[in-house]
Amino acid sequence: MNAVLRRVHDAVTRTRGVTDHPVLTHLARVGLTAYGVLHLLIGWLAFRIAWSAQPGTEDADQTGALQTVAGSPGGRVLLWVIGLGMLALSVWQAGEVLRWWTGLLRPGHRRHVAVVCAKCGAKAVVYAVLGVTALFFAVGAEYDAAARFRELTDDALHIPGGAALVVAVGVGVVAVGLYTLVRGFTGGFMKDIDLDAAPDRVEPFIQHVGAVGYVAKGIAFAVSGGLLVYAAATSDVSTATGLDGAMNAIGAVPTGQWLLTAVALGFAGFGVYALARARYPDRDPST
C-alpha cells in the first residue's frame, strides 16, 4: 500500500509541476481576463434588458456575451483567445486539487481539504465549460445555453423522479447563490487575490467592487435556482433558462427595472474584480 501511495504521490507531483509552470500561469491570467470581460458584457446585456422597450430580446448570460464578442471586429480571433485562455485557467485551477489531495490522507484534515478540493474542482469545470462554449462560437457553431437549459429541464421532468431531481438541482443552485452572497458580505473572495503583490491603495477598491459583484451573482444564482424549483412544481419550463431567465425574472417584478440595473452594475463590478484577480492571482484558497 505504501508503495502504491508513493507512486501516486510521485505522479501527482509531476503533474502538479505542469499546472505550476509559468507558461500555464500566464495563459490562466488570459483566462481570468476573459472571465472578467465576459462578466462586464453580461452586466451590459442585463442593463440593456432593464431599459429595453422589448424585454426578452437580449440573452444576458455567457452565450449572450460570447455572441456579442463574435459580432465584434476580429471576434472569431478573440473567441479563440477566450476559449483557450479559459481552458488553461481550468487546468490551472484543477492544479489546486493536486496541491491539496494529500490532506485527504490525514484524518484531522479530511473535511476541510475535501471542501477545498470540491470548490477548486467545481471552478475548474465552470471554466472548462465556458472555454468549450467559446470555441464552439469560434468555429461558427450555434449554441443557445438558455434554450438548452430549458430543454434539459423539460426532458428531466418527463422521466420517473425527474421533478424531484430538478428540485434538488434548483435547491443546490440556490445554495450556491447563498454561499456566493455570504462570500460577498464577508469578503471571503479576497483569499483569491495575492494581497502581498497588490498595492495597499487598490485593496479597498478591489474589495468593494468584489463585494458588489459577489452579491449580484448570488442574487442571480438564487433566483435561477428558485425558477428551477418553480418549473418542477408547475411543469412550466418557460422561465427555466438559467442566468438569462433569472435576469428577465428580476426585471419583471415591480421596480424590476432598477433592481436589474443594480444587478447589472454588480456583474460589471465582478468583471472588474476578475480583472484584478488576473493581475494579482493567488493559488492558495486556504489563506
Over 70: is that where the pLDDT of 266 sits? yes
Asked whether residue 143 is domain-assigned, the answer is yes
Task: Provide the CB-side half-sphere exposure for 204 (13 A, CA).
Answer: 1
Is 244 a domain residue? yes
Q: Is residue 152 part of a domain?
A: yes
Domain assignment of residue 258, yes or no: yes
Q: 162-171: which pairs have CB atoms within 8 A and are 24 or more residues apart?
A: 163/232, 163/233, 163/235, 164/232, 166/228, 166/229, 166/231, 166/232, 167/228, 167/229, 167/232, 167/233, 169/225, 169/228, 170/225, 170/226, 170/227, 170/228, 170/229, 170/231, 170/232, 171/225, 171/229
pLDDT at residue 3, rounded to an integer: 62
Task: Yes or no: say if 24 and 108 are a contact pair by the CB < 8 Å rule.
Answer: no
Query: What is the CB-side half-sphere exposure of residue 261 using CA atoms within 13 A?
Result: 7
pLDDT per position as a tens digit, 54-111: 655 567 788 888 888 888 888 889 999 999 999 988 988 887 777 766 655 566 666 7
> Which of 84, 94, 95 lies closest to 30 in space, CA to CA?
84
Identify residue 40 by its one-letter amino acid code. Answer: L
3-state secondary structure 183-218: HHHHCHHHHHECCCCCCHHHHHHHHHHHHHHHHHHH
Banded pLDDT at 8 (limits 50, 70, 90)? low
Q: How confident is the model over 178-233, as pLDDT tens digits?
A: 999 999 999 989 988 988 888 989 999 999 999 999 999 999 999 999 999 988 88
pLDDT at 287 over 50: no
133 falls within a domain: yes
- For the chain, give the mean pLDDT: 83
Residue 159, domain extent: 2-279
Q: With contact defined as beta carbons under 8 Å apart, do 82 and 34 qualify?
A: yes
Give mean pLDDT, residues 106-135: 81
pLDDT of residue 109: 65
Structurally, the chain folds into a number of domains equal to 1
Residue 155 to residues 142, 171, 216, 221, 230: CA-CA distances in angstroms? 21, 18, 30, 22, 16
Output the nine-digit C-alpha cell for 115. Answer: 471542501
Lowest mean pLDDT, pick from 43-47, 66-70, 166-170, 181-185 = 66-70
Is 39:270 a contact under the CB 8 Å cutoff? Answer: yes
pTM (2 d.p.):
0.85
Give the Cα separation of 99 and 15 in Å (integer): 10
Instruction: Report which residue type is found at 273.
Output: Y
For residue 106, being part of any structural domain is answered with yes
- What does the pLDDT read at residue 128? 92
Higher pLDDT, 144 or 94: 94
- Identify the CA nearest to 81 among candidates 138, 139, 124: 138
With respect to residue 150, please indicate whether it lies within any of the assigned structural domains.
yes
* pLDDT, position 2: 57
